[in-house]
Amino acid sequence: MNYNKLGKSGLLVSELCLGTMTFGKQVNKEDSIKMVHQFLDQGGNFIDTADVYVGGESERIVGEAIQQRRSEVVLATKVRMKVGPHPNDFGYSRRRIIEGVDQSLRRLNTDYIDLYQLHVWDNLTPIEEALRALDDLITAGKVRYIGCSNFLAWQMMKALSYSDFKRYARFISVQPQYSLVSREMDREVMSLCKEEEIGVIPWAPLAGGFLSGKYKSKEKPEEGRFAEGSGEYGWENKATDRNFEILQAVEEIAVEVGKTPAQVSLNWLLGKSEIVSPIFGASNLQQFDENMGAVGWTLSEEQWNRLDQASRLPDEYPQRFLDKFKRHI
């Protein structure tokens, strides 16, 4: 397992991050703990969860799993989603963030969180209020670093600029949806992250399982995530001609290298300079083993470029226009 620096920090994280959204739901407690221990035994050190996953059960299981190995783990969790029936049980008010971190610390059975992330932009709370609360948590020692997730480029830049202006701790990472079939972040977010040294830790690197190769036609699955999913997990958003063409390229290269489509899709992400650590999940131990097989080897330059060409966004304004005026020495 290789390790990468997380954004503009000295924190080193494994090239794969174990996502735990399935813990306590698709994966029982016993197997969840096995996954964590196997991940650590194989050199992984980066684990991501959230207060809202399975009503807090994911955090509780992760906390139990790492109890004897806390010093090995870079532990990440998130705040923002609704966790109770009351009007202040969601969002980024100072009250919610401080309550949220204390609740997460209790569930995780730890006295600090390595990476505390804002889960989704909150249009009700001024970002200035959230950033002050996060900076205070770092000063108090409850949080070591902060990041964001599912932010637009202007929202990230507004937060970074305010943090710099007030000399608060700034985001070192962003967690967006990103995969071979979801490259919308290439429009603005990825270039912003490169400029500001923000580490990208993408969720859904296998597009909810679409890139695993188990879907062979546009017919809607009768079971699984896409059977009843909507939004980002709506079948209509995945089962497009373009996405099946990308999947075909993945499958062809998988045959060439003797790997699975999931392993090829994850390995392609490892070859992108902006990507620090894709967050993979698993519904069972077999999927976990398969995903861990994405490291320890490398696509050839020709294979990587073939996937890049098949999946890149259309040539668009303003990038198309700006590229004409690039200056070189």
Q: 224 pLDDT exceeds 80?
A: no
Percent share of the chain, pLDDT over 70: 100
Q: 184 pLDDT exceeds 80?
A: yes
Residue 91 pLDDT: 94
Pairing of strands 113-118, 171-175: unpaired
| Neighbouring C-beta atoms of residue 17, cutoff 10 Å | 26
Model confidence pLDDT, tens digit, residues 155-174: 999 999 999 999 999 999 99
Half-sphere exposure of 319 (CA within 13 A, CB side): 11
Q: 225 pLDDT exceeds 80?
A: no
The amino acid present at 4, given as its one-letter code, is N
Pairing of strands 74-79, 113-118: parallel
CB 282 within 8 A of CB 268: no
Residue 229 pLDDT: 72
Residue 104 pLDDT: 98
Tell me the whole-structure pTM to 2 decimals.
0.94
Assess whether 145 carries a catalytic annotation. Answer: no
Catalytic residue among 53, 168, 178, 215: 53
Residue 231 pLDDT: 79
Which CATH entry fits the domain spanning 3-175: 3.30.450.30, 3.30.450.20, 3.20.20.100, 3.40.1380.20? 3.20.20.100
Q: Measured in whole angstroms, how far is the alpha carbon of residue 52 from the centre of its chain?
A: 15
d(CA 101, CA 113): 8
Beta bridge partners of 14: 3
Residue 174 pLDDT: 98
Model confidence pLDDT, tens digit, residues 69-95: 999 999 999 999 988 899 998 999 999
Q: Where residue 216 falls among pLDDT bands split at 50, 70, 90?
A: confident
Residue 214 pLDDT: 87
Give the angle subtended at the CA of 25 by the CAs of 19 and 29, to the nearest 5°.
Answer: 80
Q: 183 pLDDT exceeds 90?
A: yes
CB 61 within 8 A of CB 70: no
Strand order in the sheet with 17-19: 199-200, 171-175, 143-149, 113-118, 74-79, 46-48, 17-19, 279-280
Model confidence pLDDT, tens digit, residues 264-296: 999 999 999 999 999 999 999 999 999 999 999
